[in-house]
Amino acid sequence: MNDYKHTVLCVDDEENILSSLKRLLRKEGYRLLTATSGTAGLKLLEENEVHLVISDQRMPEMSGTEFLSVVKERYPDTIRVVLTGYTDVDAITESINKGHIYKFLLKPWNDQNLKLEIKQALKQYDLIQANEELHQKVLHQNKELKRMNENLEALVQERTKELEIQNQALELSRAVLEDLPIPIIGVSAEGGIVLINQGAQALSFNGKSIEIGKELVDYFSTDAEKKMADVVETNMPQTLQDYRLSDGVYDIYFTPLSGKFRGKGVIMAFVICH
């Protein structure tokens, strides 16, 4: 079975005209259908996907332009061509202006010219279909893009809400840490001081206050430095007892950070010895 790209329907009440068209077009690679009336042509259109209709103008029951106006209404994508004599030109021109037909071709026809006109008409059909497919593709992509933008907007809103909650939690944590009744110092795994609360700011280190950005060794002995390093390495809390500062003696509790910050640093909590 041949895999035809295009189907052409020829409608004419004269059998000899249809036979001539069959002979002319049989080697052109089209699937060719024929009908002897507009009614028969409409039935074939119901049963087949037709890309081009070539109709005689003067037929009983239904003229070519009347037939093709019905074709346009029911199958608007099908290219419509009329074969006509010189005496029908005015009627055909009016039909063209109304958009019922694509083109009219005069009888008797030149075989080469007719084949060329048919080829051009089918190219026009392919172009229209390609444009429609592109249009539908663009519509689909725009719809998909709109959906993605809506999803992205929802994700952004959700993420923004999460960040707001996290920021509130962080602010609350900072407030709690700041107001703890004991001094707290946060130290990075490299020994840098990254956090101090009000209690830690009140501590005295040889008359100096502790500052963020300084090193642990700037304020503490090697014993405290070693204890901090051991806690980072083992991830186990430890205590340095009876550690003397300028304003008193403290037990220092070294607690390693957990979760995603595991191994990243230590919290030092100071409890004064009585």
Domain residue ranges in the chain: 7-135, 180-272
**pLDDT tens profile 212-250:** 999 999 999 999 999 999 999 999 999 999 999 888 899
pLDDT at 32 over 50: yes
In CATH, the number for domain 180-272 is 3.30.450.20
The overall average pLDDT reported for the chain is 89
CB 59 within 8 A of CB 11: yes
pLDDT at 60: 87
Q: Give per-residue pLDDT as tens, 63-79.
A: 888 899 899 999 999 99
7-135 adopts what CATH topology? Rossmann fold (3.40.50)
User: How much is the average pLDDT of 132-151?
Assistant: 90
* Residue given tokens 């806690």 in the structure block: 231
* Lowest mean per-residue pLDDT among 30-34, 88-92, 230-234: 88-92
Question: Is 80 exceeded by the pLDDT of residue 167?
Answer: yes
Q: How many CB atoms lie within 10 A of CB 186?
A: 18
- In which band, very low, low, confident or very high, does the pLDDT at 121 lie, cut at 50, 70 and 90? very high
Long-range CB pairs of 142-145, under 8 A, 24+ apart, other chains included: none
Q: Is the peptide bond before 60 cis (omega within 30 degrees of 0)?
A: no
In sequence order, what are the residues at sequence separation of 6 or more whose Cβ sits closer than 8 angstroms to the Cβ of residue 36?
A: 11, 12, 13, 15, 18
What is d(CA 211, CA 269) in angstroms, rounded to the nearest whole number?
Answer: 16
Q: State the average pLDDT over residues 94-100.
A: 67
pLDDT digits (tens, 9 = 90+) for 177-207: 888 888 999 999 999 999 999 899 888 887 7
Prediction pTM value: 0.55
What's the confidence (pLDDT) of residue 44?
Answer: 96
Q: In terms of pLDDT, which residue wins out, 170 or 112? A: 112
Residue 90: pLDDT over 90:
no
The percentage of the chain sitting over the pLDDT mark of 70, rounded to a whole number, equals 94
Kindly state the tokens that stand for 26: 């049989």
What confidence score (pLDDT) does residue 99 get?
60
pLDDT attached to residue 1: 47
Query: Which residues, listed in sequence order, are joined to residue 52 by a DSSP beta bridge?
Result: 8, 79
CB 88 within 8 A of CB 57: yes
Distance separating the N- and C-terminal Cα atoms of the chain:
104
CB atoms inside a 10 Å sphere around CB 147: 10
Two domains, one topology: 7-135 and 180-272 = no
